[in-house]
Structure formats: structure tokens, C-alpha cells
């Protein structure tokens, strides 16, 4: 009798989470066969996407058929990225967006809708680390900056795009954390914390948005060859530490992160949500 009561309780409380995801999977599978490119006619908004991992993701999603909206803090960088991708024949437009500013987020959403009419995917790559030092040496201003850009901004931008992702019927959100969430990097205390927070944000949002047929997953890159990671890459001791403990023999490339994001946005990942997926040559969380 007790087991029967518990089963009914679980079924009743998880019904809203499970059923929408299953129905979405069936719709995606049937529609995915109609297009040669798996992301054809979809629209992706990507923050922090004019260089490094974000740029590689923008290129890959566009190559797979999506209309891509790139953004970053500087107009010059946006113009260069858009020009480069358009020369490759890809459907790309761009706008300046400092994600920590409300007016910039509003402009990003408005321009995406103005040029593309809808939004299906949101990929949040933008992140900052303005301070190198211990956690307890971090000033309140720096804490606000790091948490504001790395954690709060993705949630606020998602809330602004929510009606449009819901209208899509197959919305996908990808947050970008870091392996520092699992292996804290010395002297990057507040940054480590912000990236760990993104793991929890992914889990929470995935449950809240499942009834709306919106999936939320998280890319967790290891040491990838970008401008942002040059300090670590040049640190021989850090590289030897990673090799010794985990067997990773080389630094990763931005392109090695992009394929996973394209997959997570595609119908092939229609039954995957709430996952924090490490792309680091090893799995430090296991």
C-alpha cells in the first residue's frame, strides 16, 4: 500500500516535467527529416560570440543552417566577425551587447526579432574575470561584476527571450560554464564560484522550462586555446598538473566545443535537458 501511494505521488508530481519533453521529441524527429541541414530555418542568439568559443559556435550553428545573431561588447569586433562569417556564405547578423547592461540586452532581443522574426536558440558564452586573487580578497564591486555578467545576465536575457523561445515549440538554451566549476583554478576564486553557479542554474531552469518545451543544458569547457585562457596555457606547471592527474595531453580547440552546442540545439538532443557536459579531454566531475 505504501509503495502504491508513493508511486502515485511521483507520477502526479513529475507528469508536467516528463510529458512535454517526450511530446517535443516526437515532433522534432518528424520535422528533422524534412531539412538537409539539421538547424535549417532556426534562429540562434549567441552572446560573447566574436572570438574564441563563442565565434566557433556561431560559425558551426550557421554552417548547420541556422540564422545566427552574434554579439559582443565592441562594435569593431562585431563587424569583423559578421564580415568573416558572411564571406563564408553564412546567414549572420550582429549587434553590440554588453550583457550586464539591461538596455543592451533589450537591444539584442529587439534586433534579433527585427531581422529574423523569431528566436529558437539562446547560447550564453559571454563571461568576465576582472580580478586575479583569492576569494576573500575580492571586493564587493568585483563580486557584483563577475556574478552580474556570468550568472545573472544569462538568466535575465533568457527571461526576455522566453515568450519567443516558447513560441518556437522547440527552444533550446545552452549556458557555458568552465571546468573551473569542478577544479577551482588558483587565484580565480570568484570566477570559479560563478562558473559553479551556472551548473545549478542549468539544473533549475531545465525543470522550470520543461513544461514549455524549452531545454536547458550547459557546456563545460576545459582548457581551450582562446585569448581568455592564455594565462593558463602559458603556465607550464598548470599544464603538467592537468596531464599528471587526468591524462589530457593537449589544449582543446574552440571548434571542439561547437559541435556539442549544435547537437544540443538539434532534434537529435530532443530528450536531453538539465545536463552539464564536460568537453575537456577528461571528466573531472566523475
Instruction: Give tens-digit pLDDT for 17-28.
Output: 443 433 333 233
Q: How far apart are CA 193 and CA 158, in angstroms?
A: 21
Domain range for 49: 42-225+253-279
Do the domain assignments include residue 165? yes
Do the domain assignments include residue 196? yes
Length of the chain: 286
Instruction: State yes or no: is 271 an active-site residue.
Output: no
| pLDDT score of 30 | 38
| pLDDT score of 242 | 64
Q: What phi and psi values does residue 21 have, to the nearest 5 degrees?
A: -70, -40
Q: How far apart are CA 210 and CA 197, in angstroms?
A: 20
* pLDDT tens sequence across 252-272: 899 999 999 999 999 999 999
Do the domain assignments include residue 31? no
Do the domain assignments include residue 150? yes
Minimal CA–CA distance to 23: which of 152, 149, 178, 211?
211
Task: Read off the CATH number of the domain in which 208 is found.
Answer: 3.40.50.720
Burial 164-198 (b: 16+ CB within 10 A, else e): bbeebebbbbbbbbbbbbbbbbeebbbbbbbbbbb
Do the domain assignments include residue 22? no
Task: Please state the domain count of the chain.
Answer: 1
Catalytic one among 182, 191, 246, 271? 191
- With a cut of 70, list the residues of the chain below it in pLDDT: 1-35, 228-249, 285-286
| pLDDT score of 244 | 65
Do the domain assignments include residue 164? yes
Which CA distances in Å does 175 have to 119, 153, 198? 16, 11, 7
Q: Is the entire prediction scored with pTM above 0.75?
A: yes
Provide the 8-state DSSP code for 74: -
**By the 8 A CB rule, do 217 and 272 touch?**
yes
SS3 track for 113-158: HHHHCCCCEEEECCCCCCCCECHHHCCHHHHHHHHHHHHHHHHHHH
Do the domain assignments include residue 241? no
| pLDDT score of 27 | 36
| pLDDT score of 251 | 81
Cell 560559425, residue located: 59
Do the domain assignments include residue 260? yes
Amino acid at each position: 500500500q505504501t509503495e502504491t501511494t508513493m508511486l502515485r505521488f511521483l507520477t502526479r508530481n513529475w507528469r508536467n516535467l516528463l510529458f512535454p519533453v517526450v511530446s517535443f521529441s516526437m515532433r522534432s524527429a518528424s520535422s528533422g527529416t524534412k531539412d538537409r541541414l539539421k538547424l535549417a530555418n532556426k534562429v540562434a542568439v549567441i552572446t560573447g560570440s566574436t572570438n574564441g568559443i563563442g565565434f566557433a559556435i556561431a560559425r558551426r550553428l550557421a554552417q548547420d543552417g541556422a540564422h545566427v545573431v552574434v554579439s559582443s561588447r565592441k562594435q569593431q569586433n562585431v563587424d569583423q566577425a559578421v564580415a568573416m562569417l558572411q564571406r563564408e556564405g553564412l546567414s549572420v547578423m550582429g549587434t553590440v551587447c554588453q550583457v550586464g547592461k539591461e538596455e543592451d540586452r533589450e537591444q539584442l532581443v529587439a534586433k534579433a526579432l527585427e531581422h529574423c522574426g523569431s528566436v529558437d536558440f539562446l547560447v550564453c558564452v559571454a563571461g568576465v574575470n576582472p580580478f586575479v586573487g583569492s576569494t576573500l580578497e575580492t571586493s564587493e564591486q568585483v563580486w557584483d561584476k563577475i556574478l552580474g555578467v556570468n550568472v545573472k545576465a544569462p538568466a535575465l536575457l533568457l527571461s526576455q527571450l522566453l515568450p519567443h523561445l516558447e513560441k518556437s515549440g522547440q527552444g533550446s538554451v545552452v549556458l557555458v560554464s568552465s571546468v573551473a566549476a569542478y577544479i577551482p583554478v588558483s587565484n580565480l576564486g570568484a570566477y570559479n564560484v560563478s562558473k559553479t553557479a551556472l551548473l545549478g542554474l542549468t539544473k533549475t531552469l531545465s525543470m522550470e522550462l520543461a513544461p514549455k518545451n524549452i531545454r536547458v543544458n550547459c557546456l563545460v569547457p576545459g582548457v581551450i586555446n582562446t585569448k581568455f585562457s592564455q594565462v593558463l596555457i602559458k603556465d607550464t606547471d598548470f599544464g603538467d598538473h592537468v596531464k599528471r592527474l587526468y591524462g589530457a595531453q593537449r589544449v582543446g580547440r574552440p571548434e571542439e566545443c561547437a559541435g556539442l552546442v549544435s547537437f544540443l540545439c538539434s532534434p537529435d538532443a530532443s530528450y536531453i535537458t538539465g545536463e552539464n557536459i564536460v568537453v575537456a579531454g577528461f571528466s573531472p566531475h566523475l
